[in-house]
Amino acid sequence: MHSWNLPILDSFARRAGRLPHALLVHGPRGVGKLALAVRIAQRMLCEASDAARRPCGACDACRWFLAGNHPDFRRVEPETLWQEVPDKPSRVIKIEQIRELADFLNVKSHRGGLRTALIHPADDMQLPAASALLKSLEEPPPGAVFLLVTHRPTLLPATIRSRCVALPVPVPSREAALAWLAGEGVKDAERWLAYAGGAPLSALQYAAEAESLARLLESPAPVDGREELERLAEALQKIALDQAFSAFGLPARYQTGGKAGKAQNARAWLAYARQMGRSRLLAQHPVNPRLFSAEMLASRPKT
């Protein structure tokens, strides 16, 4: 788990005697939500006699958890996040996965403690899967705890959000993020942290792709793949926001480069940024990347 989230874990530990049956761990991409949720799950299952030492990392439960085979823990994710996937992996969490989870939760605990389910990203559940999960949240089996991790909590049904205790994970301070990136040996850390909106893990990924990403920001062009399409939509949205900020006389937030925007184009750039936000969502669907990216580029405001 990352150091900047330790205060959140400490706060959770202080109320561990009155655990909710469902936690909604939410925040921006790249702030370590998943690592925090995994650590919380390990703490719940740890069998150390001294609660202050949990997770101890040394008991049988911790060893099984760290090895990925604790009998009372299940992790539910889209097939695209698995190490071994079928020929056409699903990008969503399907109802069959939630049904299998319900079967697991309705079986007696192997260790006589809690049974813990981690669902990530929860906003990737298909609607039938979300409906199936809601039944378990409304009438949770005894000793069952749900950890839902999401980047976009508003995409979850309100009925699911209302049955969870929210655990927000904010962007860490700029100083903490830059110190961590320096420890990772990241070059030009300030630029990529700005492009990531302050999220250190995203900044680390962007820095690893610095050369190709810099070319994309300098000369956006049509693309052929879905992943490239999502990255292009993100870049165009951040370019548009920087153009709008500078046009209003504000500093560029994402450091995308380029000349300052003109005041008369500020509202057009804001409208384009909103359009690219919608395009980022549509890019995850089966569209033609070449045609869709060409359309995105053609609709840019004139500089």
Q: Could you report the per-residue pLDDT of 95-117, keeping only the tens digit for each?
A: 999 999 999 988 888 888 889 99
Q: Is 67 helix (H, G, I), strand (E, B) or coil?
A: helix
Q: Would you state the pLDDT for residue 192?
A: 97
Question: Could you report the per-residue pLDDT of 172-230, keeping only the tens digit for each?
Answer: 999 999 999 999 999 999 999 999 999 999 999 999 999 999 999 999 999 999 889 99
> Which pLDDT score is estimated for 159?
96
Average pLDDT in the chain: 91
C-alpha separations of 207 from 53, 69, 179, 197, 231 in Å: 36, 33, 15, 13, 14
Element (H, E) at 76: strand 73-76
Which pLDDT score is estimated for 163? 94
The reply to whether omega before 172 is within 30° of 0 (cis) is no
List, in order, residues 6 or more apart from 69 with CB less than 8 Å away: none
pLDDT at position 16 is 59
Q: How confident is the model at residue 83, as a pLDDT? A: 47
The answer to whether residue 85 scores a pLDDT higher than 60 is: no
E-state strands within 89-213:
115-119, 144-150, 165-168
Contact between 100 and 2 under an 8 Å Cβ cutoff? The reply is no
Q: Is the Cβ–Cβ distance between 33 and 26 less than 8 Å?
A: yes
Judge whether residue 158 has pLDDT over 70. yes
Residues of the chain with pLDDT > 90, as a percent, come to 74
Sign of CA dihedral 92, 202, 152, 245: negative
84-89 average pLDDT score: 54
Residue 112 has what pLDDT?
81
Per-residue pLDDT tens digits for 231-264: 999 999 999 999 999 998 999 999 998 888 788 8
Cα(196)–Cα(214) distance, rounded to whole angstroms?
14
Beta strand pairing call for 22-26 and 144-150:
parallel
Contacts of residue 27, Cβ cutoff 8 Å, sequence gap at least 6 = 33, 151, 168, 169, 170, 171
Q: Three-state DSSP class for 52? A: helix
Mean pLDDT of 280-290: 89
CA pair distance 133, 146, nearest whole angstrom: 10
